[in-house]
Copies of this chain bind each other. A is one copy, B any other.
Amino acid sequence: MRHIISILLQNEAGALARVAGLFAARGYNIDSLTVAATHDPQVSRLSLVLQGDEEVIDQIIKQSRKLVDVLEVADLTARLHLESELLIVKVRTVAGNGDALDACLYRHRAFPIDESGDIRTIQFAGPGSVVDSFLGELAAVSSLVELARSGTAALERGDAVLGAGI
C-alpha cells in the first residue's frame, strides 16, 4: 500500500540522513521525498512516499519519533489530505504539432517557463497520477528530452495542522 508520511524535523545537519537511514535499514525504498524549510527556518517539513506493509510502516514511524531531530510524524494516508507534485520537463517541439502542444499545455494549466531553440521547458503541478497522465499526453505531441519531478508534497485537509502549525 502507498503511504504518505509527513515529518517535521529540526533543520540540523544529519537530520535527513538519519531519517532516510531508518527506512533504508528496513530495506524500504522511498518512492519520493521532499524536504524544505517551513515558515520557521529552524524547522523543515519532509514528505515521504513509499509502498509498504501497514504494520512495518507503523513500526518505522514509532522509531522515527525517537530520533533526536524529529518533532512530529504523521501518516497522512488514512486521513483526508491534499497532495501535489511539481514537474519541470524539457520537450523538443515536433514540426506540425505546435498547435497540439499549445492546446495540451492550455488544457492542463501547464505553462512554458523557457524556450531555447526548439526546446521548451514546461512547468506543471498536480497529484502524481495527474502528472503521469499529463506526461503521457505531452509525449504524444512533442519529444520528451529531460525531466525533474519534485516528489509529492502533502498537507492534511481542513484546519488540522502537524505540530504547532505556522
A124 — nearest CB in chain B belongs to which residue? B125
A154 — nearest CB in chain B belongs to which residue? B148
Tell me if A's interface is mostly helix, strand, loop or mixed.
strand
Q: Which of A17, A82, A121 has the most CB of B within 10 A?
A: A17
A105 at the interface (CB under 8 A from B): no
Q: Report how far A13 CA is from B36 CA in the complex, Å.
A: 22
A79 to chain B, nearest CB (A): 13
Residues of A within 8 A of B (CB): 6, 11-14, 16-17, 20-21, 23-24, 27-39, 45, 47, 82-86, 88, 90, 92, 109, 111, 113-114, 116-117, 119, 121, 123, 125, 135, 144-159, 161-162, 165-166
